[in-house]
Amino acid sequence: MYDEVVQEPVPEDFLELLKQIDESTGKKDVAS
């Protein structure tokens, strides 16, 4: 179960969250 989830692609929601974090907290670009 654990390993199967680890192998799953990261849902877009998570990447979107990181983008929102960037926009709300940093004025700088921390996108990878």
Which residues make up the interface to other proteins (CB under 8 A)?
A: 1-8, 10-11, 13-14, 17-18, 21-22, 25-26, 28, 30, 32
Q: 17 near 9, Cβ under 8 Å?
A: no
Please name the residues in contact with 4: beta carbons below 8 A apart, sequence gap of 6 or more: none
